[in-house]
Amino acid sequence: MTREIEDTQAKAEVLSQALSYIRRFTGKRVLIKVGGELFENEAAAKSLASDLSFLRTVGVDVVLVHGGGPQISKAMKQFRKEPVFVKGQRQTDSETLDLTAMVLLGDINRRIVSLLNVAGARSIGLSGADDSMLLVEQLDPELGFVGTVREVNTDPIDRLLEYDYIPVIAGMGVDRSGQLYNVNADSVAGKIAVAIGAEKYILLTNVPGLYETFGEEDSLISEIDSHGLIRLISTNKLSEGMIPKVESILSALKGGVKDAHILDGRMVHSVLLEIFTPEGIGTMVKNG
């Protein structure tokens, strides 16, 4: 047997090993949340598209929810509009809202859709306004058009999954009068994960996962349960940006999602590795 054959056998082993994972998730729903920053990194974006295409091909129902913070900030700068923060959240006046919608729906969403289509997965973009999918109410009058999700109408998602599409969802919602609102994408993702009965909820971030001690690379947590996560929050061991993500995970698990993952989206094929190989590459949060 030559070296070539040996490598070949190793390849076969990888596929063979993946089999049990594929079997476990075929026919199940997986919700993936990704921030806007990932799409500034072309390699990461393409690798994500390829991974989601893989998931879809082996029969997993994939739903993608995306944000777009960096792109919105950039667009505001171009319009010479200064971001105002109230209670730590971006105040959203009518002009900011319009700009947000234009960036999320008219730019990021359609780019992701095209990336997925080119990677061979058929995808369609949605926002919470489509079929009034995300019914929201105002979070706080001082914040302007910032909403919080009250009801998720899963009809558009169910219909698209039925035809093997990957729905790509921008985190905006509408109230009963049809008024648009901006909504935090992590929170939207958690709510949708519960509403569609997702088996798994994956949060792609720009850190490798959660740390026992913030700042110490060695303390990366590879597995934790919801109780552990609550303890972690209560001891202030999380970075500020991680708080809404962790809260969205806790609410998803409470709502019945089996497990959640925090992965570094910048790592090539992070989703594939997390789901289809025995090795962990981020933090997995088990329900319990």
Q: Counting Cβ atoms within 10 Å, is residue 28 exposed (0-12), middle (13-18) or buried (19+)?
A: middle
Closest CB 31 distance from a copy of itself, rounded Å:
19
43: contact with a copy of itself by CB under 8 A = no
Q: Binding to a copy of itself by residue 4, rule CB under 8 A?
A: yes
Binding mask 130-169 for a copy of itself (x = CB under 8 A): xxx----------------------xx--xx--x-x----
79 binds a copy of itself (CB under 8 A): yes
Residue closer to a copy of itself by CB (options 21, 214) is: 21
Give Cα 72 distance to the centre of its chain.
18
From residue 90 to residue 129, the character string flagging contacts with a copy of itself as x (rule: CB under 8 A) and all else as - is: --------x--xxxxxxx-xx--xxx-xx-x-xxxxxx-x
Contact range with a copy of itself by CB under 8 A, out of 182-190, 198-206, 239-247, 269-277: 269-277
CB of 174 to a copy of itself, least distance (A): 6
Residue closer to a copy of itself, measured from CB, 34 or 253: 34
- State which residue, 124 or 233, has the beta carbon closest to a copy of itself: 124
174 in contact with a copy of itself (CB under 8 A): yes
Near a copy of itself in 190-219, by CB under 8 A? none
Sign of the dihedral through C-alpha 209, 210, 216, 220: negative
Residue 77 in contact with a copy of itself, rule: CB under 8 A: no
